[in-house]
Structure 1
């Protein structure tokens, strides 16, 4: 990709960030920055994290 194309893409992304309205959840941002504990609903159970991990190296010899 040439420099012109890369610059055009950067300009496009910058315009989208500048002019698009986003609904910011400042409460969630504050919790993330202060390192507060997550809700139990959002925690990932280690047994359910990767259902395919049992098959990762079982067929390699």
Structure 2
């Protein structure tokens, strides 16, 4: 039902918590649904970001 901070970082290919803070500050990532240590995000919210065009995931191919 939830992804942890570690799982979110793995999904997007991010190495550090600093990247998480930058992505939240930029509006790319929502605030966690369950703040804590680790934070937790609803899987449906993260899945929607991953499936959106130009999601910023590292596993997408660039056709340019």
Length-normalised TM-score, structure 1: 0.24
Between Structure 1 and Structure 2, the one with more strand by share is: 2
- Comparing both chains, which one has the higher relative contact order based on Cα–Cα distances under 8 Å and sequence gaps of 6 or more? 2
